[in-house]
Structure 1
């Protein structure tokens, strides 16, 4: 059985869009149920609408749980790192900057918000670009910050609605 090799998306994704409204290119739905503890964070079950994502959530020991599963912070860090890595790959290709074996590492922290006393999430992104001149690497990373949707989300917020399902 022959398999098609995996390829990156086309650089044309970086072409500017002009339009009055948001233009969705991909949409997914993920559901979380409460599991044994009836608490999504502590024992939730995660499922995507297409079935390709199926995970058990577990509260990490640092938050009083047993660990042994993934958690929302890891999922967010994975999404952020993958998105930033992909955006950097596309931009480097468009600018004809040779990048090889680079790594994007995202550290996500869940903690207390000093403003309202409740909770907040912080993210720290580190990009390792071996073999690239520092000035070029810094300029590339700054440019990627402007196009990565996760960085926009972290800096500008996200448009969201919350409603009771029928």
Structure 2
């Protein structure tokens, strides 16, 4: 659907994958949640808190410091907003620090309208990434870990925005 933003050049020690979620909510509503670089905890279940340490969270170059919920193999992550395009519905984020194994991680998220033959109101969210494979792991395990986290985040995004869309109608 969107190979322009989701095709990544890989070095020999990297892996990539893409997770897709269809949401029964209009694109503007879903984008309003996704684009909030300064508030990922609004739908990302593994984020405890977020502080923007550089920039305003609305422009490329902004940096955020995330604290992760307990139980994950990390406590914090430092991330930079590389691109935020409200017209094309594209967001690119790089992890630039933290106490985890996601090194040289860059994710691209795009949103697309999908009427599914029903006259609109649905959004397809695609999130792809490229990341270094840790020395003590393999590409398959690294992708499985990242895909699981992204999948949970996108399911949470769907649940929240579908409820919001339903509340607006009802």
> TM-score, normalised on structure 2?
0.38
Which of the pair has the greater relative contact order for Cα pairs under 8 Å at 6+ separation?
Answer: 2
Q: Which has the higher strand share?
A: 2
Greater C-alpha radius of gyration: 1
Structure in which a larger fraction of residues adopt helix = 1
User: So what's the TM-score if we normalise by structure 1?
Assistant: 0.39
